[in-house]
Structure 1
């Protein structure tokens, strides 16, 4: 599937690819920025629900639920690529109920670099399918997408800062 928009963040991390992958393979840790109220979340937050595989195998399901400004948000995802310690990719299932981005494909890639790793976090996404989403998505979606991938990369780098 092709998407109309994308964002990515690349950073160096002071951890081996294996150690970094193990940390990022924990979906709740990877998306911890979504679980805390923030300006980008307009004071709202999302909580994770994982299947028995905890998002660590192809086909594993992940659900996020939450609210922003009193609006209920939901998204269901499935792991579509899982190759430790190199890459993990997940995609939305169905039509997500989100405000500024619609369906997406998201993931990370890790490459050994010196004594550590280079991490690339990416998202490819569409604008929301709702009428309101088609209006605010092109305006706020790119800001939100950049924030999200940058937070994931920065949080990983901070976790292993020496």
Structure 2
């Protein structure tokens, strides 16, 4: 496993069991929802996720993203390297990604039970882009981008379960159907 010089993580409490949190995060469409939506961080661009037949739910599964940023093609190819339900999952890039601020990386999540709920940590260990034209952008922006990405992934799960709880509570309120 290669060593990466940079690291970012985001940790959040999730009001759900580790099994439920893992099931949500194990679906890479949920993890990458922030990449598939246009955002200011992507300057209005978005990426499309490509999953293998198993939905990237086993060790060795391949998946990735394609898109463009300011008209320049972007792509990432990844492979699942660890999967231990309901505790953790990790994946790594298999070739140098064509991204502007981050090069090769290892990413994943860990889930720890805590008082009837879960604490979820999303992490990324990464290198700067190898291409000279984008390496300087990596020096400037990679830390900010890595933290934004882990925050989005961790926050999406917390919001999902908060909304799920709100929907359940609303449906259990007398007089509502």
Distance (Å, rounded) in 1 between the aligned partners of 2:88 and 2:136: 33
Q: Please give the per-residue CA displacement for 1:91-135, whole angstroms capped at 9, x wherever unaligned.
A: 001111111000000000000011100000000000001112211
RMSD between superposed Cα atoms in Å: 0.7
Length, aligned pairs only: 162
Any residues of structure 2 matched to 1:11-160 within 5 Å, and which?
11-160=12-161
Distance (Å, rounded) in 2 between the aligned partners of 1:7 and 1:111: 18
Q: Please give the per-residue CA displacement for 1:65-98, whole angstroms capped at 9, x wherever unaligned.
A: 0011111000100000000000000000111111
Distance (Å, rounded) in 2 between the aligned partners of 1:105 and 1:154: 19
**How far off is 1:47 after superposition?**
0.5
Query: Runs of 5+ in structure 1 lacking a partner?
Result: none
Query: Runs of 5+ in structure 2 lacking a partner?
Result: 166-177
- TM-score, structure 1 normalization: 0.98
**How far off is 1:28 after superposition?**
1.0
Higher percent of residues as strand: 1
* Runs of 4+ off more than 3 Å: none
